[in-house]
A = this chain, B = another copy of it.
Amino acid sequence: MCPDTMLALSGERFHVAYRIAGDETEARARAAEICVDQTIEFPLDLVPRSDILDGIVGRIESLAPVDGQHWEATISYPVEISGLDLMGFLNVVFGTISMKWGIRVERFDLPPALLRAFRGPRFGRGGLRALLGAPDRPLVATALKPLGLAPADLAAQAYRFALGGVDIIKDDHILANHSFCPYRERVERCGEAVRRANRETGYSSLYAPTVPGPVDRMFERAMIAKEAGAGALLVCPGLAGLDMMRCLADDDRLGLPVISNPACQATYATGGEIGLSWRALFGQVARLAGADASIFGHHGSQFAGSERDCREAAAGCESPMGHIRPIFPMPAGGITVGRLPEFIRFYGCDVVFLVSTGLYRPGPDLTANARAFRRAVERPPLTRYAD
Contact = CB atoms under 8 A, between A and B. Distances in A.
Interface stretch (A144-152, A188-196, A370-378): A144-152
Residue of A99, A149, A174, A270 most packed against chain B (CB within 10 A): A99
B98 A266 contact: yes
Given A42-B356, A264-B90, A270-B98, A147 B81 contact: yes
A212 B92 CA distance: 13
Interface stretch (A11-19, A161-169, A222-230, A238-246): A238-246
Contact of A56 (B52, B98, B148, B266): B148
Given A41-B174, A146-B41, A304-B99, A243 B243 contact: no
Interface in A132-166: 145-150, 152-153
Interface in A201-243: 212-216, 236, 238-243
Interface stretch (A43-51, A68-76, A121-129, A322-330): A43-51
B39 A147 contact: yes
Contacts of A150: 4-5
A63 interface: no
Nearest to A271: B271
A243 B247 contact: no
Contacts of A304: 99-101
A32 interface: no
B176 A83 contact: yes
A262 interface: yes
Interface string A285-320: 000000000001100001111000000000000000
Given A7-B180, A243-B215, A304-B100, A91 B264 contact: yes
B271 A236 contact: no
A349 interface: no
B270 A85 contact: no
A263 B148 contact: no
A96 interface: yes
B146 A86 contact: no
Count copies of this chain in the complex: 2
Nearest to A10: B179
A95 B56 contact: no
A82 B214 CA distance: 12
Contacts of A62: none
A177 interface: yes
Contact of A303 (B8, B100, B172, B180): B100
A41 B239 contact: no
Contact of A46 (B101, B246, B361): B361
Contact of A214 (B172, B247, B274, B275): B247
Given A52-B148, A99-B303, 8 more contacts: A41-B174, A85-B214, A86-B213, A87-B213, A87-B215, A90-B264, A98-B265, A241-B241
25 contacts: A9-B180, A33-B302, A37-B302, A39-B147, A40-B148, A41-B145, A42-B360, A48-B153, A80-B180, A81-B147, A87-B212, A87-B236, A87-B239, A88-B176, A91-B263, A98-B264, A99-B266, A99-B296, A99-B303, A214-B243, A241-B241, A241-B243, A241-B244, A267-B275, A271-B271
Interface of A: 4-5, 7-9, 33, 37-43, 46-49, 51-52, 55-56, 80-83, 85-88, 90-92, 94-96, 98-101, 145-150, 152-153, 172-174, 176-180, 212-216, 236, 238-244, 246-247, 262-268, 270-271, 274-275, 296-297, 302-305, 356-357, 360-361
